[in-house]
Amino acid sequence: MRRVGIKYCGGCNPDYDRVALVEELKNRLAGYVEFVPYDAENIDMVLAVEGCQTACADLSSVKKLEVYIIKAPGDAEKTAEGLKEKAMKAFEGAIHFSCRLRSSISDIRMTPFSVKSHLN
Amino acid sequence: MSLMNAEQYEESLRELNLVVYMFGRRLENIVDDPIIRPSMAAVAKTYEMAHRPEHEDIMTATSHITGKKINRFTHIHQSVNDLVKKSKMGRLLGRETGCCFQRCVGVDTLNALSIVTYDIDQEKGTGYYQRFLRYLEYVQENDLTCDGAMTDPKGDRSLPPHKQADPDHYLHVVEKREDGIVVKGAKAHQTGAVNSHEIIVMPTIAMREGDRDYAVSFALPSDADGIIYIMGRQSCDTRKLEAGLLDRGNIVFGGHEALVVFDNVFVPWQRVFMCGEYEFAGKLVAQFAAYHRQSYACKVGVGDVLIGAAQTAAEYNNVAGASHIKDKVIEMNHLNETLYCGCIACASEGHKEPSGTYAVNTLLANVHKQNVTRFPYEMARLAQDIAGGLMVTMPSESDLKAPETGKWIEKYFRAKNDVSAVNRMRILRLIENITLGTAAVGYLTESMHGAGSPQAQRIMISRLVNMLEKQKAAQKLCGIEEK
Ligand SMILES: Cc1cc2nc3c(=O)[nH]c(=O)nc-3n(C[C@H](O)[C@H](O)[C@H](O)COP(=O)(O)OP(=O)(O)OC[C@H]3O[C@@H](n4cnc5c(N)ncnc54)[C@H](O)[C@@H]3O)c2cc1C
């Protein structure tokens, strides 16, 4: 399972509920991706959860890793798909597993995220 | 323990032995006192939020002296980005607490001292800066809350400290010993004083040679021998003694101020950061004031709460769609975001001082604070307009709960049919709290006088603008060539 470190911006004046969105992501990707704090050991990539387009989270400590960035709820769908694809690639060769993943990616697309930006 | 949590903070306060008076009596238990406790809860929030992943990017920083993760309220700004994050932290905490969370004055004092102790050493060959850094490490390692004590009672405003009829109207050194100094005087209006572990004293005005004994800066544990706290009153404060929470408006948080008396208090040399260098008193005041004027970013956060409350009240009355209400809410937002522009701008235009500390742009910090002396008052006026008169005429929570009267209140104070009378009362009490109750001390009068009265900013603005450049620009455009 891929370990994704979550790094939030400070949340001074966010356009949406960042924590609720991450909870939804966690539920969607349960079993495929493990979400951990960004400073945990052995993380494969980072998910930066930014409250607005300024995107000021300090990512200097995770510079060497691949970083997915969410700046609005609208980014969550693509991020979820991207993270699943990554998880799938990591298990390439395990045909049964990847079939399961493919079907669940289409599941994700069918159920939109419920967290909304106030800008929507 | 470089990052305390809220519980540890509360416990650490219980270990202090402060001498605190309120309503003519010495308090036995300060932390649990119903009038003071909400203010303790507001400071505790600064500790709690530093542990939350969704806020730590703003609430914490990396110490430049130990490399450890510390609470931003003990940090010395190392970049423009640090300054910007400080402004953002103010808005965040203002919105979370809806009141003064008291801890900004301490970080502003630490940063001002980090600049001025270095400058004194450069000119005078003293050793204040290293002494200050050792003290700073102690503050950071223990994640302490510091009261920044600048404002003296000041007596006759037209006279300098050494010419006052009562020499103690400005805090001063009364004795110099081999092991330290003895000081006497008082500091007025001290925000969060009895929620603090440390009290850091600075002079309050620029000084001349005659004021040498008044040019003193030092830090003491808040429970040092000879320090006495007399709590300030806030309007509606005794509502916190009543049963029920509704009438408080803000049911969780609050602020406090106190008069702090120094009755011949001993300060060991290792805690003294200025003693007699009167030429640097003005610089310390100006540095502190610039940082502290930036800190009024917190009013933007409280403004967020007030705007949210006004909009809710309008929706409860079912008038939110009316064009004049919409326009008033837009105006509140316009004023609030204009304040935000100021505190972000003075941080973004910050610069590095010789000590390595980053300072805000002083002109923009003063412009920001000048706006703060006005806009919250206009926002309060608009919120009261939208709220309606019930905000100040409605009966108490006890009347709502009493069977004889509650039924009438339920019946007549319901506005839009699907909104309960109790929720309408709650939101109106919150607006009352911020605009004329306990929180108005912070949102309004502190906005006016805190970090200096309006005239103090106007003097700085007149000093700092480059008038010659403006004149040159105008004269060039209309063909004036005389020098
Ligand atoms: C809620 C609150 C919290 C505060 N927290 C702190 C704190 O934590 N730490 C701290 O150190 N201070 C704190 N202050 C103090 C604040 O900095 C002072 O209130 C401010 O500097 C003004 O001083 P003053 O209240 O003595 O007003 P005054 O000096 O009494 O001023 C009243 C009026 O007189 C004018 N005036 C004063 N002197 C002169 C003069 N010489 N010539 C012409 N006009 C003059 C002023 O401009 C003003 O208009 C706080 C104040 C408030 C209200």
pLDDT per residue over B83-96, tens digit each?
999 999 999 999 99
Does some domain include residue A19?
yes
Q: What is the CATH number of the domain that holds B205?
A: 2.40.110.10
Residues B126 and B267 reside in one and the same domain:
yes
Question: Which strand (E) or helix (H) includes residue B410?
Answer: helix B403-412
State if residue B100 touches ligand 1 by the CB under 6 angstroms criterion.
no
Alpha-carbon distance of B446 to A105, in angstroms, equals 54
Pairing relationship of beta strands B180-191 and B172-176 according to DSSP bridges: antiparallel
Residues B375 and B264 reside in one and the same domain:
no
Q: What is the mean pLDDT of residues B294-323?
A: 98
Does some domain include residue A114?
no
Residue nearest to atom 5 of ligand 1 (CA): B191
Does some domain include residue A52?
yes
Among B259, B280, B301, which residue terminates a domain? B280
Q: What is the mean pLDDT of residues B377-403?
A: 98
Number of domains in chain B: 2
Which chain B residues touch A56 with a CB distance below 8 Å?
57, 84-85, 88
Does some domain include residue B479?
no
Distance from the B414 Cα atom to the nearest Cα atom in chain A, whole angstroms: 28
Give the domain range for residue A68.
2-108
Judging by beta carbons within 10 Å of its beta carbon (0-12, 13-18, 19+), is residue B96 exposed, middle or buried?
A: buried
Does some domain include residue B214?
yes
Say if residue B355's pLDDT is above 90: yes
Number of domains in chain A: 1
Between A89-103, B165-179, B298-312, the lowest mean confidence (pLDDT) is in: A89-103
Residues B263 and B301 reside in one and the same domain:
no
Q: Is B180 left (phi over 0), alpha (psi -120 to 50) or beta?
A: left
The catalytically annotated residue of B298, B358, B362, B435 is B298
Q: What is the pLDDT of residue B22?
A: 98
Closest of A10, A5, A82 to residue A50, by C-alpha: A10
Which chain B residues touch A37 with a CB distance below 8 Å?
53
Say if residue A72's pLDDT is above 90: yes
Say if residue B356's pLDDT is above 60: yes
State if residue B191 touches ligand 1 by the CB under 6 angstroms criterion.
yes
Which residue of chain B comes nearest to A11, CA vs CA? B55
Alpha-carbon distance of B464 to B232, in angstroms, equals 35
Distance from the B49 Cα atom to the nearest Cα atom in chain A, whole angstroms: 10
Does some domain include residue A115?
no
Alpha-carbon distance of B351 to B83, in angstroms, equals 10
Which residue's entry shows tokens 């060039």?
B476
Q: What is the CATH number of the domain that holds A97?
A: 3.40.50
Angle among Cα B284, B288, B291 to the nearest 5 degrees reads 145
The catalytically annotated residue of B9, B75, B77, B104 is B104
Does some domain include residue B143?
yes
pLDDT tens-digit readout, B409-460: 999 999 999 999 999 999 999 999 999 999 999 999 999 999 999 999 999 9
- B119 contacts: CB under 8 Å, gap ≥ 6: B280, B283, B354, B355
pLDDT tens-digit readout, B168-184: 999 999 999 999 999 99
Neighbours of A118 (CB within 10 A): 8
Residues B231 and B322 reside in one and the same domain:
no
- The partner residue sitting opposite A18, judged by closest CB among B54, B88, B95, is B54
Does some domain include residue A117?
no
- B34 contacts: CB under 8 Å, gap ≥ 6: B240, B241
Does some domain include residue A99?
yes
Among B231, B258, B280, which residue terminates a domain? B280
Give the Å distances, CA to CA, from B121 to A27, B127, B281, B351: 58, 6, 14, 21
- Could you tell me the end-to-end alpha-carbon distance of chain A, in angstroms, rounded to an integer? 34
pLDDT tens-digit readout, B95-142: 999 999 999 999 999 999 999 999 999 999 999 999 999 999 999 999
Closest of B410, B373, B385, B381 to residue B395, by C-alpha: B410
Residues B214 and B345 reside in one and the same domain:
no
Does some domain include residue B329?
yes
Q: What is the pLDDT of residue B289?
A: 98
Residues B183 and B320 reside in one and the same domain:
no
B362 catalytic? Reply is: no
Buried/exposed code over A28-56 (b: 16+ C-beta within 10 A; e: otherwise): bbeebbbbeebeeeebbbbbbbbbbeeeb
Does some domain include residue A32?
yes
Q: Identify the residue with better confidence: A2 or B352.
A: B352
Q: What is the pLDDT of residue A89?
A: 83
Distance from the B39 Cα atom to the nearest Cα atom in chain A, whole angstroms: 21
The catalytically annotated residue of B46, B109, B117, B191 is B191
Q: What is the pLDDT of residue A85?
A: 87
Pairing relationship of beta strands B272-275 and B216-221 according to DSSP bridges: antiparallel
How sure is the predictor about A91, in pLDDT bands with cuts at 50, 70 and 90? confident
| Ligand 1: centre distance to CA A24 (Å) | 50
How many CA atoms does the CB half-sphere of B324 hold within 13 Å?
4
Alpha-carbon distance of A59 to A54, in angstroms, equals 13
Which residue of chain B comes nearest to A59, CA vs CA? B57
Does some domain include residue B481?
no
Q: What is the mean pLDDT of residues A76-97?
A: 78
Residues B254 and B298 reside in one and the same domain:
no
Say if residue A88's pLDDT is above 90: no
Is residue A81 within 8 A of residue A105, CB to CB? The reply is yes
- B478 contacts: CB under 8 Å, gap ≥ 6: none
Residue nearest to atom 36 of ligand 1 (CA): B157
Alpha-carbon distance of B286 to B463, in angstroms, equals 12
Question: Which strand (E) or helix (H) includes residue A96?
Answer: helix A95-110
Across the interface, whether the CB atoms of B91 and A12 are under 8 A apart is answered yes
How does DSSP classify residue B272?
E
Long-range contacts of A66-70 (CB under 8 A, 24+ apart): A68/A4, A70/A21
Say if residue B222's pLDDT is above 90: yes
Does some domain include residue B107?
yes
Residues B327 and B206 reside in one and the same domain:
no
How does DSSP classify residue B443?
I
Does some domain include residue B299?
yes
Q: What is the pLDDT of residue A119?
A: 76
The catalytically annotated residue of B64, B77, B100, B316 is B100
Among B245, B280, B315, which residue terminates a domain? B280
Residues B466 and B370 reside in one and the same domain:
yes
Between A86-100, B154-168, B187-201, B334-348, the lowest mean confidence (pLDDT) is in: A86-100
Q: What is the pLDDT of residue B142?
A: 98
- Residue of B46, B51, B58 to mutate when probing chain A, most A C-beta within 10 A: B58
Q: Which of B157, B202, B205 is the best mutation target for the ligand 1 pocket, counting ligand atoms within 8 Å of the beta carbon and taking the most?
A: B157
Residues B237 and B343 reside in one and the same domain:
no
Q: Over chain B, what is the mean pLDDT?
A: 98
Q: What is the pLDDT of residue B79?
A: 98
Size of interface A-B (CB pairs under 8 A): 44
State if residue B157 touches ligand 1 by the CB under 6 angstroms criterion.
yes
Give the Å distances, CA to CA, from A76 to A16, A68, B27, B392: 12, 10, 53, 46
Does some domain include residue B482?
no
Give the domain range for residue B208.
6-280
Q: Over chain A, what is the mean pLDDT?
A: 86
State if residue B148 touches ligand 1 by the CB under 6 angstroms criterion.
yes
- The partner residue sitting opposite A19, judged by closest CB among B54, B58, B84, is B54
Say if residue A36's pLDDT is above 70: yes
Pairing relationship of beta strands A2-8 and A33-37 according to DSSP bridges: parallel
B389 touches chain A (CB under 8 A): no
Which chain A residues in 57-116 lie under 8 Å from chain B, judged by CB atoms?
57-58
Alpha-carbon distance of B420 to B417, in angstroms, equals 8
Residues B128 and B48 reside in one and the same domain:
yes
Which residue of chain A comes nearest to B55, CA vs CA? A10
Which pair of structure tokens corresponds to residue B13? 């306060």
Across the interface, whether the CB atoms of B58 and A11 are under 8 A apart is answered yes
Residues B269 and B353 reside in one and the same domain:
no
| Ligand 1: centre distance to CA B185 (Å) | 17
Give me the phi and psi of B19, to 5 degrees please.
-100, 100
Does some domain include residue A118?
no
Write out the E strands in A1-120.
2-8, 33-37, 45-49, 66-70
Closest of B342, B397, B341 to residue B370, by C-alpha: B342
